[in-house]
Amino acid sequence: MLGQLIEPEISEMIAKREFGALRRALQSFASASIAELFIDLQAAEMTVLFRILPRDRAAEVFEYLPLEQQEALMHELGTDQVAQILNEMAPDDRTALLEELPGPVTRRLIALLTPQERAIATQLLGYPESSVGRLMTPDYISVRENLTVGQVLDHIRKVGHDKETLNVIYVVDEKGTLLDDIRLRELILAEPEAPVSSLMDRQFVTLRADQDQEESVRAFQQYDRVALPVVDSSGLLVGMITVDDVMDVAEEEATEDIQKIGGMEAIDASYLNTGFWRMIRKRGGWLSVLFVGEMLTATAMGYFEAEIAKAVVLALFVPLIISSGGNTGSQASTLIVRSLALQELRLGDWWRVLMRELRSGLTLGAWLGLIGFVQVLVGQSFGWIDYGEHYLRLGVTVWISLTGVVAFGSTTGSMLPFFLRAVHLDPATSSAPFVATLVDVTGLIIYFSVATLVLRGALL
Amino acid sequence: MLGQLIEPEISEMIAKREFGALRRALQSFASASIAELFIDLQAAEMTVLFRILPRDRAAEVFEYLPLEQQEALMHELGTDQVAQILNEMAPDDRTALLEELPGPVTRRLIALLTPQERAIATQLLGYPESSVGRLMTPDYISVRENLTVGQVLDHIRKVGHDKETLNVIYVVDEKGTLLDDIRLRELILAEPEAPVSSLMDRQFVTLRADQDQEESVRAFQQYDRVALPVVDSSGLLVGMITVDDVMDVAEEEATEDIQKIGGMEAIDASYLNTGFWRMIRKRGGWLSVLFVGEMLTATAMGYFEAEIAKAVVLALFVPLIISSGGNTGSQASTLIVRSLALQELRLGDWWRVLMRELRSGLTLGAWLGLIGFVQVLVGQSFGWIDYGEHYLRLGVTVWISLTGVVAFGSTTGSMLPFFLRAVHLDPATSSAPFVATLVDVTGLIIYFSVATLVLRGALL
């Protein structure tokens, strides 16, 4: 929004080397807005703009940039400036950047950190990828329960300036075991002389550092918090996760699921930032697998070559019938994939879903079949198309086949995500194209089998 | 998690009427956990459990319940209890419930509110559905800039107990125009004697009450805040939106998009909570439209009936070829729909995307065509299937057609979301089945046209 409005002027100032005016112009914008402005700039312009920012502003703006742009900028900047930015970044944002880069680059960058920041970085990078540990920040405040509220507030005033969020502080025992979380608002509302223990209810929700990030999204949604503490397997407090990072994870997870449902591997960058051949690989892999699967349709139709030769009119309905099965299957699988992701459905619900999808499929199939039947009748009566003297039997064939194919599609589409979850694969892999391919071959067999039965003695 | 573990015991306690033990058992759980427990219970059990909760706990637990369950519970509870819960709910959660209910029920419930709460409810309900105004809460704290930090903290201690979040407070002028936002942490870290104006930088991000909720998701993601102020068209502060509500909106939007991509209308409840016929309508509508569109394939194939009669072998490849176009189109449209939703792509990028998708489509099509060509050759050589003496020309037909059909699929699939956005429709409507249907008819025409050219004088 902002970027589009002022970009031309900024470009002009850069071109004219009006750095003083530029610096003054940028002063009045929030860091997030400056980052937004950067996104539309060329790499060279971006570097110029970045260098004229005050030191502390630079690190802040850098944190708001997308990962790809952070990477591009690091290539352009000198080692000193990179070291300075890295040391001033919040640990969780820094971890996100470091884990995105190739191994040797990450090692070189870690070497630029101060010993203290290096210890934090390597600890966070020690957790598995996509784990809560990678997402957490060690920038939290913890206190002991024998302090008073006033002492805690003094402590916050002393150490709080560098901390990522002060909305929640944590109470720990002498070993560092988490005892409770206390919101800053509770401290403000309490009497300064009151002991911390008087605010404690020992009810708190924690995340474990080795949990998957996806589970942190569920926890934040369920408990409506702005931050959650992270503990290790023995209950020691090791970090904190903030809601802004969790929102980013939720968005990424949804994007991955959507891309998988669309029938491709998840790409982990934006469309225009993904290279041509990388994109071809991500899409071509699944397409090839589906294509080879779909080759079975040629084999299936080969079995009925004699029937098609006798009644070419049968071939006309092939795309209509198999696509209806595919469409219903794609609806069903999409519904179930999302419900499983949101934990509205559990693995044990499969039987209930199967029965329901069978009913839905038969109902929808009978309805679509009716439309098909009417079309054959109307087309024949008005003379738009000639289905031959046995058009009534042909219409019945279409009706019955559609009922069967659509019922098969919706049950297959709904059961595939359950099956994938049961064998510990991602249910989202059950994409619309995947389901359609599964349903196509069976759809053809159902259609030609019904045709053989209904049209025997007539067309066949 | 919790629900599944303790549910049997709870049910037993209810059955045995051990209300004292039950009340004690529930005391040690957080409100969100009790709500989770409710989700697995029968309506009757839920009502019993709800009635034994202390008054303030009841409203809290109620807020955490899904909307469908809130509705069910309201039917079971007496008017007094409903009035009490409604009056104690946070205004934004109450609005979400009221707007979900049928009009007459909403009016009856609003009548149960105290005059003060009623004014808030009707004001929030005055904003259009899915607007920021419906999502906001008037429970914020605003102060004037001539106060000192100490005076503000005293004010917070006095009025803060009922407020939804205290992490941010707002500075307004005498008319109520928003001047700045100040985080609670800044107040804590400042000297008590300092004037509020010394903390102000007059840089703040606002949402307008009439904006779409989806835009609030983008704003929260961009600015990493836990709350954002809402202003009316003249800049007056009218409310505040908190990040927990925005996370719910983000999840709903993703679910809606996923369902639309799966080729159906978005359902606004979970799978098992949507009635059978309601689900049939949501799915059947689009299926019928797609079916009628797909009927054109029969018409298209009708034009080539003579060719099929002469060379039945052509019919065998129909499903393979049209499904490849559909699969590529579904990939492309899914990618673009998500990129538009995340604002990684703008409307003006369409030409860049078109050129890129044309290249991708030709590359992927040529690759799949090669697989198809090899299959024809190998199948013929090993005698698995007999494509006749002109099998080489048939293979070439398949190869060329696939290149064309896949390129057509990926360009159509990528342009449809842009087109829908341009005419102010939701790009997510561009579902995999929708794109497949568009591509199928053209795919058939491409295939049979290529066949007519390549096989002329041979099979045809």
Chain A residues whose CB is inside 8 A of the B432 CB are 261-263, 330, 432-433
The pLDDT tens digits for A276-286 are: 888 888 888 88
In angstroms, the separation between the Cα of residue A404 and the nearest Cα of chain B is 15
Give residue-wise pLDDT tens across range B27-68.
Answer: 777 787 788 777 777 777 777 777 778 777 777 888 888 777
What is the per-residue pLDDT for B417? 92
Of the pLDDT bands very low, low, confident and very high (cuts 50, 70, 90), residue B364 is very high
B445 pLDDT more than 90: yes
Q: What is the pLDDT of residue A120?
A: 78
Summarised one tens digit per residue, pLDDT across range A225-263 is 888 999 888 888 888 898 888 888 888 888 888 888 777
Residue with tokens 């930032």: A273
Q: Is residue A1's pLDDT more than 50?
A: no
The shortest C-alpha distance from A438 to chain B (Å) reads 12
* Min Cα separation A269/chain B (Å): 10
User: What is the band of A438 on the pLDDT scale with cuts at 50, 70, 90?
Assistant: confident
Instruction: Give dist(CA B138, CA A364) in Å, integer.
Output: 46
Which residues on A lie below 8 Å from B298 (Cβ)? 316-317, 319-320, 385
Model pLDDT, residue B373? 93
Q: What's the pLDDT score for residue B399?
A: 95
- When pLDDT is cut at 50, 70 and 90, the band that residue A425 belongs to is confident
- Residue A84: in which H helix or E strand, if any? helix A79-88
Mean pLDDT over A177-182 rounds to 91
Mean pLDDT of chain A: 84
Question: What's the pLDDT score for residue B2?
Answer: 45
Residue B9 contacts residue B18 (beta carbons within 8 Å): no
Indicate yes or no: pTM above 0.80.
no
- Out of B189, B248, B327, whose CB is closest to A161? B189
CA B185 to chain centre: 33
Quick one: average pLDDT of B9-38?
77
Mutation target for A interface from B291, B364, B371: give the one with most A CBs within 10 A: B291
Who wins on pLDDT, B118 or B371?
A: B371
Chain A residues lying within 8 Å of B431, measured CB to CB? 330
How much is the pLDDT for A162?
67
Question: Among partner residues A259, A301, A431, which is closest to B335 by beta-carbon distance?
Answer: A259
Q: What is the 3-state secondary structure (H, E, C) of B277-321?
A: HHHHHHHHHHHHHHHHHHHHHHHHHHHCHHHHHHCCHHHHCHHHH
pLDDT of res. A287: 83
pLDDT of amino acid A401: 95
What mean pLDDT is predicted for residues B99-105? 73
Judged against a pLDDT cut of 60, whether residue A113 lies above it is answered with: yes
Q: What is the spatial distance between Cα B240 and Cα B94, in angstroms, rounded to a whole number?
A: 15
Of residues A109 and B228, which shows the higher confidence score?
B228
Residue B137 contacts residue B117 (beta carbons within 8 Å): no
DSSP state of A177: B
What's the Cα-to-Cα distance from A56 to each of A78, A115, A322, rounded to whole Å?
Answer: 17, 20, 61
Examine the pLDDT at A365 and tell me if it is beyond 50. yes
Q: Would the CB atoms of B272 and A359 count as touching at under 8 Å?
A: no
User: How far is Cα of residue A160 from the mean position of the Cα atoms in its chain?
Assistant: 33
Q: What is the pLDDT of residue A11?
A: 73
Confidence class for position A4, pLDDT limits 50, 70, 90:
very low
Give the lowest-confidence range in A41-45, A176-180, B296-300, B327-331. A41-45
More confident of the two residues B447 and A16: B447
Report the pLDDT value the prediction gives residue B357, as an integer from 0 to 100: 92
Which of A3-17, B149-163, B275-289, B308-322 bottoms out in mean pLDDT, i.e. has the lowest? A3-17
pLDDT, one tens digit per residue, over B128-169 is 878 888 888 888 888 998 899 989 888 888 887 767 667 888
**pLDDT value of position A413:** 92
Instruction: Please tell me the distance from the alpha carbon of residue B221 to that of residue A228, in angstroms, as a whole number.
Output: 18
**pLDDT greater at residue B447 or residue B261:** B447
Residue B444 has its nearest CB partner, among A244, A319, A359, at A319
A432 vs B443, more confident: B443
Top pLDDT among A42 and A181 is at A181
How far apart are the C-alpha atoms of A181 and A404, rounded to whole Å?
57
3-class DSSP string for chain B: CHHHHHHHHHHHHHHCCCHHHHHHHHHCCCHHHHHHHHHCCCHHHHHHHHHCCCHHHHHHHHHHCCHHHHHHHHHHCCHHHHHHHHHHCCHHHHHHHHHHCCHHHHHHHHHCCCHHHHHHHHHHHCCCCCEHHHHCECCCCEECCCCEHHHHHHHHHHHHHHCCCCCEEEEECCCCEEEEEEEHHHHHHCCCCCEHHHHCCCCCCCEECCCEHHHHHHHHHHHCCCEEEEECCCCEEEEEEEHHHHHHHHHHHHHHHHHHHCCCCCCCCCHHHCCHHHHHHHHHHHHHHHHHHHHHHHHHHHHCHHHHHHCCHHHHCHHHHHHHHHHHHHHHHHHHHHHHHCCCCCHHHHHHHHHHHHHHHHHHHHHHHHHHHHHHHHHHHCCCCCCCCCHHHHHHHHHHHHHHHHHHHHHHHHHHHHHHHHCCCCHHHCCHHHHHHHHHHHHHHHHHHHHHHHHCCCCC
- 3-state helix, strand, coil split of chain A in percent (to 5) is 70, 5, 25
How far A106 CA sits from the closest chain B CA (Å)? Answer: 26
Q: How close does chain B come to A427, measured CA to CA in Å?
A: 14
Give pLDDT, residue A7.
66
Contact flag A305-B316 (C-beta cutoff 8 Å): yes
CA-based nearest distance B298→chain A, Å: 5
How far apart (Å, rounded) are the C-alpha atoms in residues B375 and B370?
8
Residues of A in contact with B311 (CB under 8 A): none
B338 vs A259, A272, A287: nearest CB = A259
Work out the average pLDDT over B386-394.
Answer: 85
Cβ of B349 and A272 within 8 Å?
Answer: yes
- Report percent pLDDT > 90 for chain A: 19
Percentage of residues in chain B with pLDDT exceeding 90? 19
If you average pLDDT over residues B385-401, what whole number do you get? 88
Using a CB-CB distance cutoff of 8 angstroms, which residues of chain A are in contact with residue B199?
A: none
Greater pLDDT, A47 or B405: B405
Residue A264 has pLDDT above 50, yes or no: yes
> Mean pLDDT score of chain B, rounded to an integer?
84
Please report which confidence band the pLDDT of residue A372 belongs to, taking 50, 70 and 90 as the band edges.
Answer: very high
User: What chain A residue is nearest to B304 in terms of C-alpha separation?
Assistant: A316
pLDDT at A2 over 50: no
Q: Which of B36, B255, B375 sits opposite A295 (nearest CB)?
A: B375
pLDDT of residue B403: 96
Length of chain A: 460
pLDDT exceeds 50 at position B437: yes
Average pLDDT over residues A104-117: 76
Residues of A in contact with B214 (CB under 8 A): none
* pLDDT at residue B316 is higher than 60: yes
Residues B250-260 have pLDDT tens digits of 888 888 888 88
Among candidates A270, A294, A334 on the partner chain, residue whose Cβ is nearest the Cβ of B261: A334
